[in-house]
Every structure is written in C-alpha cells, then in structure tokens.
Amino acid sequence: MRWRALRCGSRLDDSPGIADADLARIRERGVRLDSHGSGSGLGLAIAGEMVEQADGRLVLENAQAGFRASILLPAA
C-alpha cells in the first residue's frame, strides 16, 4: 500500500514536548495532560479511531519545537 501524508494538524511550540510516558498513553480515552481541567480526554482517541477506520494512521510525536500530530492516509 502506498501512503501519502496529510498533516491535518500540528502543534509546534517552545515547550519541551510531551513526556515519553505520556506519549505512550495519550491516545487512550479519558487521558488529559493539562492541569486546567479543560477537555474530556476524548479528542485524540476519537481522531485515532476515525483515521484507523479509513485505513490510516495517527502519528503523535515530539518534534524539535514541541509536539506534532500527523495523519497518514493511503493514496487513492
């Protein structure tokens, strides 16, 4: 299968990114990493499920300047 990358969203900031232990669990339902109590912890879990239903992959990783989320979908 050929893949083409469609970056539908990315967050790049001057933070150190997300801790490796948190990256391992960030796609689980109900996981929230902020201390402000905002959000439900469902966004990345639901996004990942939707992308997988389209035979794609949601890649979450630390980048040089922060955090990056990429969506990879099969080429048509």
pLDDT recorded at residue 28: 85
The predicted-structure confidence for 60-75, as pLDDT tens digits, reads as follows 888 887 888 888 887 7
d(CA 67, CA 44): 13
**Are 56 and 72 within 8 A, CB to CB?**
yes
The predicted-structure confidence for 14-53, as pLDDT tens digits, reads as follows 777 788 888 888 888 888 877 676 778 888 889 899 989 9
CATH number at residue 26: 3.30.565.10
Domain tally for the chain? 1
- For tokens 């992959």, name the residue: 57
Q: pTM higher than 0.75, yes or no?
A: no
Per the structure, the complete domain to which residue 27 belongs is given by 3-74
Rounded mean pLDDT, 3-17:
62
